[in-house]
Structure 1
Amino acid sequence: MTRFFLVFLSVQAVLFGMEMLAPVQAAVVQPWTGLVASASAAIIQFFDPSAISHGRVVQSAQSGFGISIEPGCNGVEAAIVLLAAVLAFPSSWKMKLWGLGLGFMAVQGVNLLRVVSLFFLGQWNLQVFEFAHLYMWQALIMLDVLIVWLLWMRYVARHEKRVSPAKQPSAPTA
């Protein structure tokens, strides 16, 4: 248990520290945030064809209302927490890669739902938007990370065969 927490905290410290570096922001975080904005606008266009994105902003060309996807709202931090939890848990690298791949997609899928819902909530009622943005979705994103990690751990426990030293077959004696 101590090893898990030390690895979990260390991986988070390193990745959150790296995320703050200007070159990482320019090469990874800002382009990712733009991609989140573009994907969100594409989803929104099914319901509001006037939705556009530019940079990290998603806006309705019809009403002029827009949201800016700021740090903490792009799913990067949630993905870092999930990555740290998966890497800290004792399992094979094959299982870790599956957990990271599927978990990343799940977290980003929920984050897209978050951005899309906030876009529509903001046009409807700014007080509800503020509550949903600051409280509800913050908790739901972290709950998503926890649920994804717990489901992955359960899968690993059921499917990864670990042979303990006491159960290993002994060598034949002569």
Structure 2
Amino acid sequence: MLRFLLFFLLVQGVLFGVEMLQPIQTAIILPWTSLIADVSGWLMSAFDPNVATAGKVVRSTLNGFAVSIEPGCNGVEAMIVLLAAIIAFPAPFLYKLTGLAWGFIAIQGMNLLRIISLFYLGQWSQELFDWAHLYIWQALIMLDALVVFLIWIRYLPGQTTPPSSMTEAIA
């Protein structure tokens, strides 16, 4: 367990360090963030014609309210935490790839919900927007990564199902 924790921290530190490098920001993080804004805008425009995107900004053409999706709000950090955990955990490589694929879908799906909800919440109440942005959604995105990791561990090959009752566990 200690080896897993140390390896997890090492991988996480390296990945967070690499993410901060300017060439990585320019080549990967900022284009990804713009893509997230575009996808969010596209989803919202299916039921709201007053949504426009430009780069990493999603804006209401009706009232001018806008959200700018900054690094840190694009799901990359949650993916780094999940990636580090899956890499550090002893499991077959194919299962690691599968876990990362499902984790990517879960985290980015949740992040799209986050952006859309914050966009509309901000038009209704700035105070609630700030609270939801800083506290609720930050925790939920990281919790999403943790839940994906725990589910992934549960379905690793060679895992036995837990006993259905306490008496079976003792016997």
TM-score where L is the length of structure 2: 0.91
Instruction: Give 3-state SS (helix, strand or coil) of 1:73's partner.
Output: coil
- Equivalents in 2 of 1:11, 1:49: separation in Å? 43
Tell me if 1:53 matches 2:78.
Answer: no
- Please, what is the CA RMSD of the aligned residues? 0.9
Larger of the two Rg values belongs to structure = 1
Quote the offset at 1:123 in angstroms: 0.4
Q: What's the secondary structure of 1:41's corresponding residue?
A: helix
Which residue number in structure 2 is paired with residue 161 of structure 1? Answer: 158
Structure 2 partner of 1:101? 101
Question: Residue in 2 aligned with 1:168?
Answer: none
Helix, strand or coil for the counterpart of 1:105?
helix
* Residue equivalent to 1:90: 90
**Equivalent residue, structure 2, for 1:20:** 20
Deviation at 1:99, TM superposition (A): 0.3
Aligned to 1:140: 140
Q: Which runs of 5+ in 1 are unaligned?
A: 163-174
| Identical residues among aligned pairs (%) | 58
Q: Distance in 2 between matches of 1:97 and 1:46?
A: 32
Q: Which residue of 2 aligns with 1:152?
A: 152
Matches within 5 A, 1:106-145: 106-145=106-145
1:79 and 2:82 aligned: no
List runs of 5+ in structure 2 lacking aligned partners.
160-171
What SS does the corresponding residue of 1:58 show, helix, strand or coil?
Answer: strand
Offset at residue 6 of structure 1 (A): 1.2
Cα separation, 2, equivalents of 1:139 and 1:34: 23
Q: What is the CA distance between 1:46 and its match in structure 2?
A: 2.1
